[in-house]
Structure 1
Amino acid sequence: MALPKTLKLMNVFLNGTSFYGVATEVELPKLSSKFEDYQAGGMFAPVEINLGMEKLELTHKYAGTDEKFYAGFAEAQIDKEMIRFAGSYEQDDTGEVTPVEVLMRGRHKEVDGGNSKVGEITETTIKSALTYYKLTMGGKDVIEIDTLNVIIKKNGKDIYQKHREAIGI
């Protein structure tokens, strides 16, 4: 029987600034393909056609408040904010520690300062619209998505390379 790799420690960096001890929660982007049903004459059942991906969104939460949380809000440049999640996952049956890193770029579309009450820790929640996502586990690049440059790489294989070549980019 194997036990799961569980998050033991984490850190979040906003534009290179560490929020260790302040970052409380990260909801990493859901990776979701965009499919549409297709059924033409002669087909007795529909099939799903892949039409790309759904948008990438990140939700990250912090204890307290900081002016840096607001720096990326209402930004004109679509990929100005760099967000890095670093996690240390441990498998309790083997003691193996796996570093997990998610590097993301985008801009903050919502900054929620939460409720402020004397004697209680305020929580700030940021929602970011992303243009770039790269997941690395144990030093291995698992998936990389660059929406602006039409790149999707899985385990190092560029699955959109032929499409880019076909349209001259």
Structure 2
Amino acid sequence: MASQLPRQVKAFNAYINGSSFAGRADTVTLPSLALMLEDHRGGGMDAPIKLDLGMESMTALVTLSDYSADIIGLIGVPETPLVFRGAVQAQGGNAEAVVINMRGMLATTEFSEWSPGTKSTKALTFELSYFRYRQNDVQLAEIDIINMVRSFGGVDQLAALRAAIGL
């Protein structure tokens, strides 16, 4: 059996509040999907175990080579839509589409140093309320904080909790 080479991001495009930033989006750092865990050791237990207390907050970072006035106007606007479309491909393999949908507030805009003859960038920090990851039209993750949805691999881990509280 031949070893498969790893899939790598070959290209991507960024859409912020519906506008394409093709050729102007340098990088995106997707949020960490991390559970908030706390140690619990009750009577009769020989060691602590970690209890799932929900998700950590989600933050996305975007670097643009563009001083778009539209972006500055988004500071503090809640539920700004972000879409990142990428192509991942293993060497010799077929390209796979990845679509990442996020919503959040632009919390920080950091301008780069200005210097003649150098590239000017802007670093954006979005605090997210929603994240969805699809690859090859298969939804692998969806986190909707406001609507209490946490789904990985097609399993909604919070469905029973929503039902229990009448949502």
TM-score per shorter chain, which class?
over 0.9
Contact 1:30–1:56 (CA under 8 A) maintained in structure 2? yes
Question: In the TM superposition, what whole-angstrom CA distance separates every residue of 1:129-151 from its partner, at most 9, and x where no partner exists?
Answer: 00000000011101101000000
2:133 corresponds to: 135
Given candidates 98, 101, 110, the residue that maps to 1:100 is 98
Superposed structure 1 runs of 4+ greater than 6 Å apart: none
Q: Which residues of structure 2 form unaligned runs of 5+? A: none
Contact 1:83–1:103 (CA under 8 A) maintained in structure 2? yes
What's the secondary structure of 1:163's corresponding residue?
helix
CA distance in 2, matches of 1:50, 1:153: 15
2:42 corresponds to: 40
| Number of residues of Structure 1 aligned to a counterpart in Structure 2 | 165
Give, in angstroms, the shift of residue 95 of structure 1: 2.3
Structure-2-length-normalised TM-score: 0.95
2:86 corresponds to: 87
Given candidates 6, 9, 14, the residue that maps to 1:7 is 9
> Alignment RMSD, CA only?
1.0
> What does residue range 7-156 of structure 1 map to in structure 2 within 5 Å?
7-75=9-77, 78-79=78-79, 81-92=80-91, 94-156=92-154
Give, in angstroms, the shift of residue 3 of structure 1: 0.5
Question: In the TM superposition, what whole-angstrom CA distance separates every residue of 1:84-119 from its partner, at most 9, and x where no partner exists?
Answer: 111111110x32111111100011110011111111
CA distance in 1, matches of 2:62, 2:20: 14
CA distance in 2, matches of 1:90, 1:168: 43
